[in-house]
Structure 1
Amino acid sequence: MDLEILDLTNEEDYPEDLIEQTKLLTSASDEIESLIGNVNDFFKEFSEYSKVRNNEEKKILKEFERYCSHLNEYIDHIHVEITALVDVLKESEKQQLESQKTINELRHEVELQKKQNAEMKEKYEEQLKMTNDIKEQLEIQKTENSALKEKYDQLDEETNVSLTYTAVIGSVLSKMLWKTSKNPQAIQTYIETGSMNQFLNLVNKTISSFDETYKDGLPDVDTYEFQFILSLLGICINIMAQTVGREFVLERVTGQNLFRNVISYMGGIPMPSVGGPLLKRMIIMMLYNLTFTKQGSFLIESLENSVDNIINCFNAHHTAEIQSIAVSLISQLLKDSQTNDFCLKVRQKLSQNEDDFKMLMNTADSTTKEICTQLINQIRELNDVISFD
């Protein structure tokens, strides 16, 4: 009987119970083979004795033959059982190999995962180091920022002190200069010493800076900043009131730029507001003084939005003084104007502000009413079609 049992060359590849069963089967197979060999040898020898004719011996031999036949059947049965068991062992071996393959694959995946985990750990440690470095840099930056903030606060405080000091000095000096500028000789001195052009530049830049700083709301009228700008405008009024001053301003680009800036700033002054009427009054007086010469009227006429910003002063948000000066200014500009376009512009703007003009006519004092009537007559002389009755 030739059995194909497991190859146990590499015992470590199989479970211990499977190895033990295989060894037992191998041993049993060897024993059975030996037993079958002995039986066959016995039958050969027994065939020599089968020639006995004694009935008693024949009976014994017959019984022995029957026993041997049963033994052969039993051996065949064992052989079948062993063969079946071997098949089971082979199937078990197949499953074991598949399991071992799965285990090997899992081991490979585990090793791969370990490798990936190691790489991830290495990357994490690098990232952690970078994070710590960044934290360290942030702490350094915080320290530096704190020092810079402290320095900034110190400089800001010093700047505020300096600005306040400058505003105080500017306010005081400009008030003093405002008073002296009423003297015609003082204006002449400014021009002769070359200070006038510098002053006009200073006023122009100061107005731009003031507008940018307080575009969201004017400061209180008692502040040094407001008093400073007010004094500068007052000085300009006095300069425009003097013939020599007007001529200098009109002949210089700095003077023309100043009035261009003043007209633009005038339109943005919030009304009604605290301080707004004061600033508009000063500006409208500057413009009015400039019209004492036709060249001054021509300059105002040429400036963008001049008519709109002046006629807007007719509305009830402005003081009676501002309204009166504005009406007088428009009237004077119409007298001096030499272009139909300007007259048309005035008529169109008055038409848009007709309600404001009517209210002004009804509420103004006698002097202002007289000027309004004069303006209406001027417009009618220009064949205006607007009715103010």
Structure 2
Amino acid sequence: MNVGDYLLTLDLFDYTSLTDLERSITKYVNKNVESIIRVLLDYLEDDNGFTPECFLPYNNLKINNDTWNEMVYDLYDIVRSDVIREYVKPKYEFLLYVILQWWADCTDDSEDLLTNKLDSNLVTKIKSTYTSEDGENYVLKAITNFKEYYYIFFTDQDFLPGSLERMLIIFLKNQDLFKELFPDTDLQEYWDLMPKDLQEQFEELNYEQYESIKKDLFEYTLLQNLFLCSERLQANHMYKESLEDEMNDFIRDLLTCSGYNLRDQTRQGTSNGGKQAGEVDILVRKENIPYSIIEALRLSSIDKAYISEHIDKIYKYDTLGNRCNFIISYVKTSNFLKFWKNYLLFIESYNYPFEQDEFTVPLDHQYPELKWAVTNLKRNDIITKLYHIVIHIPS
């Protein structure tokens, strides 16, 4: 969806379980903001010299007037929509805040600040639903008092210059403290609003960090692409009765189309018997050097010998010590959750060829029909990873 497909939420309700009354209240408040922004657009559209600089407190940001104009139209589309949006980028929050300030400054009569009056039936429902024992009705007060709009539209006001500067200073000095104080804040979202000098420092620090973690990006991207390949395979009913090699071909073709340098059924290393060259399912290369082995197998139950054969096969072939390897299980079973639990018990206690440093089942990208876990192995004091991806193949 684009930015015009949403309706602004209010810091009054839980939008994961919205009632019809709460939706009506949300529409009413957005309707008031719509009227305010429409007046502002009329000023901007008239050829009278009125520009964003006339309503911005001080345009020290590197956003030109044309961009500000476009953002006002975007914000106007947001509040006119019937679809509720739970998140708005900080630059739009800042824009809404200064528009509310502008409206308060140019409106002489406080009675005119809210141009839309509440329907009497809606008032009755609000009173019967939200009035407390002492007669207070915080919802009715909030939506009929213009000053409350500064609070019900924003869970915080970190987008304001003073607050943002303080956050940036903390981040630049002590990132651990920043994560502790602002665990859910992504400063990259505030880039357009940053003062120029702090913006430069932020970019320099991010660049240094990017260079230090760039080696992890290939691994992360490969993992995400294997999730995508797994999802496509799982959703394609043509493969529900396919052979293991046919499924491997499907995964390989998708990875190849994504630009990976692959070799499949590559003769490398020693076989399980240690006597002759064997075959791996897929070998991923990075800069012409082996980076990761992907082994896959079909299962209908916890076949310990077959799983062990594939795990051991990876490390027979991985003579260099790849940064990460993958074992993908195509599972056809009537009780996938039971299979997954038993699989976890087996691979966590498995006797790997190298010391197990850590075993985790991350919360990210766990789906009812696709699960994953990762085993960290210490190999000559260097941590390498074995990712386990388990796909439920429908019957």
- Shorter-chain TM-score: which interval? under 0.3
Tell me the TM-score normalised to structure 2 length: 0.19
Higher-Rg structure is 1
Tell me the TM-score normalised to structure 1 length: 0.19
Which structure's residues are more often helix, by fraction? 1
